[in-house]
Structure 1
């Protein structure tokens, strides 16, 4: 039951991220990538402050035992998570300047390959069924996102590096979530990321007020939903879950983005896209199956 709840939270995260690509693309029409990343992470941090205060008040009122905050792990975890978050989001934002949403979502979701690869160097075990699931999911992702042959450009490389950054982000979360409260860690990473984003924005220039006002709707959605809600759910949901399995579920953001296009933009999924989506869901199901090898007993 615990794993089912965690998987559901990860799926909700993927759903929110799937709709967030549109907000990111629209935001790039008005302000620079570093400015957009700074404001969205700052909004995510500010959004979580009242949430944290409410949780504390609720726990005190009902006399629930609150988790002790390990300040050392919280500070180090916030810095590490914040660094990889700002790095990945910035690379993705710069990539989206020249890369279309479908292609960007495909390349970004390749973090599901890098998570198990990097995890091996950190001592994480990887089973055959997980490897099989990653391969099937990658095939499904390709069928779902890529309509023509891939022609790599500079923007693609930026998004590819962003995928490696997100893989590191997932693995860092997997480590620190065992030592600190997930919501507080999420808030800490946003403050760290927003500080780094502000520093970079100082070098690249501040947005003019008129463009910033036009960008507010995209910033609010990306800041509150994609960051404040989704990234926090990701951190909370990763506790006790295999990082590779978590990355497979999170990669469904591409599929959920298409679902939103069908619901709100009257778009239609092709047979190729349906097959790709089905393979991605199949990959997740495979990770939950238990393969019993039957051996003939000798007398």
Structure 2
């Protein structure tokens, strides 16, 4: 019982770190432009994995990869490209929305991933359809304006959720054939390189801006990736899968609370109702999905750590 309680606490801390990462992204945009921020953040995220890779290589036995090395690199590069598109849309969109709204809209991928199983011929439970309906209704209250238009920032974040879904499915396809940390390193390096290249041609990178955004960058790179990634692995070794999934989905709540207390971002009654409906839909959709034997359930929780 004690070990299970400790695991749940580790997962709760992980959800808090991921949720507050949306606040860090908002603050970082006050000093740096989106591609510069993402480039540095993912570069730090990649570097933060090196100690884990060293420990994995020299302190514990690691199963050999079933694919040739060049294929592992290729899979990581493709994952990094998808990650670049998802993270870029999210980072650009978050400029015109709040941390809480961005987190809730991004969380739509939790529903989109199992829903995409329809295209693969998987059976979809009624609870998933109900969860999708509640989430879409919540999205309406959260993001749609009185003139029935979607704010540009919210639209970009929503498109980003589609790419997060693609990213999760890509990782799920190869997760059992490669070492996860190695794959994560290659995708982070690819995302960082692409972001910095785009930033070099489209943005103005200044030392003063990097210094101003140093805390958000460190939090987003080391905290959200390195520390939270490790805590997620530790927590899921002991936690019950359903509990782990529901605890980690609380990152949206932490993002909304962080935006309120740290950035004074206020939500209207209808926006709060939208958040409540989306959270309910996410919970409803996940419970039956965790009983599937498709293998996607494990990769989703792992992938949340990798894309933050």
Q: TM-score range by the shorter chain?
A: 0.7 to 0.9
Please say which of residues 270-279 and 30-39 is displaced more in the overlay: 270-279
Partner of 1:53: 54
TM value normalised by structure 1: 0.75
Structure 1 residue 201, shift from structure 2 partner: 1.4
Q: Which of 135, 153, 156 lines up with 2:154 in the alignment?
A: 156
Partner of 2:255: 257
Structure 1 residue 221, shift from structure 2 partner: 0.3
Contact 1:91–1:158 (8 Å) recurs in 2: yes
| Change in 2 beyond 3 A, CA 1:230/1:83 | farther
| Change in 2 beyond 3 A, CA 1:13/1:138 | farther
Partner of 2:90: 92
Pairing 1:78–2:99 present: no
Question: For the residues of structure 2 that align with 1:272 and 1:121, how far apart are their CA atoms?
Answer: 31
Structure 1 residue 15, shift from structure 2 partner: 3.0
Contact 2:76–2:186 (8 Å) recurs in 1: yes
Pairing 1:68–2:67 present: no
Question: For the residues of structure 2 that align with 1:157 and 1:282, how far apart are their CA atoms?
Answer: 23
| Structure 1: segments with no counterpart, 5+ residues | 60-64, 240-244, 291-299
Structure 1 residue 172, shift from structure 2 partner: 1.3
Structure 1 residue 196, shift from structure 2 partner: 1.1
Alpha-carbon displacement from aligned partner over 1:17-45 (angstroms, at most 9, x marks no partner): 21101100000011110000100000000
Alpha-carbon displacement from aligned partner over 1:249-277 (angstroms, at most 9, x marks no partner): 75532112235568878999988589548
| Structure 2: segments with no counterpart, 5+ residues | 238-242, 292-308
Structure 1 residue 141, shift from structure 2 partner: 6.7
Question: For the residues of structure 2 that align with 1:9 and 1:137, how far apart are their CA atoms?
Answer: 27
Question: For the residues of structure 1 that align with 2:139 and 2:254, how far apart are their CA atoms?
Answer: 12
Contact 2:35–2:88 (8 Å) recurs in 1: yes
Structure 1 residue 227, shift from structure 2 partner: 2.9
Question: For the residues of structure 2 that align with 1:151 and 1:128, how far apart are their CA atoms?
Answer: 30
Structure 1 residue 230, shift from structure 2 partner: 4.1
Contact 2:56–2:62 (8 Å) recurs in 1: no
Question: For the residues of structure 2 that align with 1:246 and 1:194, how far apart are their CA atoms?
Answer: 29
Pairing 1:40–2:36 present: no
| Change in 2 beyond 3 A, CA 1:42/1:75 | same
Question: For the residues of structure 2 that align with 1:185 and 1:236, how far apart are their CA atoms?
Answer: 19
Structural RMSD (CA): 4.0
